[in-house]
Amino acid sequence: MGIFTCIYGISKFIGWLTTKGIHKKEKFNVAFIGRGGTGKTHLIKGIFGKEARIEEFEGCIKYEGSTYSNISAWEMPKFVHGNAVKYYEENQLVIFDLIIVVSQATLGTDEEKLLFEAKKQKLPVILVRSKCDNDDLENFKIVKNTFNVNQEAALKLVRHLTTKFEESLTFSQLSNIPTFFVSAVAFQKGVGNLQQHTYFQEREFLHCLKETAAKKFYYY
């Protein structure tokens, strides 16, 4: 590669960082990725609260709130096709500190490819399956809307989903990815009270998110 091509590449990259509003040093930048309708927006709003500041950059939406002030959450464009490598390149995902894949009801090949690509690029990755309050309500006796979660039933559901997810894995390398089953509704209802309520795995997920973010600032 010639020196000019190299300089051009670097300046383009820096320009991209600036226009995209990524503050690499001050913030822990988290990319939420998933197919359309998997619950990315509700999940982010649930975590950061309704008052979160929103900015849009080239089809990516950045959320910043006072709750986790050192974190910028990015809702990335919908993952619509099976080419995970191209998606990572097009969205420059390598510059993010953490990738959160928000999955469908069960893990599909597309989600596996997204996770696999993150691992290949050595990016920290978390898998989240949202909308758990919407699951099999009859069997698990979780009362929709009123959200009187029967805690025992909720944890039974989590165990059931964990088994189903593990069984669906094609790539065994993905089995050690931190996975959390959550509900955006639960975040909205009780983010401030998560010490008192367990619901699904919202508390564990938030703990993992905060710990991963804290490491970045600890090492700086």
Ligand X SMILES: Nc1nc2c(ncn2[C@@H]2O[C@H](COP(=O)(O)OP(=O)(O)OP(=O)(O)O)[C@@H](O)[C@H]2O)c(=O)[nH]1
CA distance 114 to 149: 32
DSSP for residue 86: H
**Binding to ligand X in span 143-182, by CB under 6 A:** none
- Nearest CA-CA partner of 32 in 95, 89, 85, 79: 79
CB of 7 to Mg ion, least distance (A): 37
Of the pair 34, 124, the CB lying nearest ligand X is at: 34
Structure-block tokens of residue 30? 């988290």
Q: Among 3, 25, 36, 172, indicate the residue that binds ligand X (CB under 6 A).
A: 36
Q: Which does 100 bind (CB under 5 to 8 A by kind): ligand X, Mg ion, none?
A: none
CA distance 213 to 197: 23
Please, are residues 4 and 149 in contact by the beta-carbon 8 Å criterion?
no
Binding-residue total with Mg ion (CB under 5 A): 2
77 binds Mg ion (CB under 5 A): no
Q: Could you tell me how many helices (H) and strands (E) the chain has, helices first? A: 8, 7
Q: Among 17, 21, 41, 204, indicate the residue that binds Mg ion (CB under 5 A).
A: 41
184 binds ligand X (CB under 6 A): yes
Q: Among 16, 17, 41, 160, indicate the residue that binds ligand X (CB under 6 A).
A: 41
Residues lying near ligand X in the complex (CB under 6 A) are found at: 34, 36-42, 78, 130-131, 133-134, 183-185
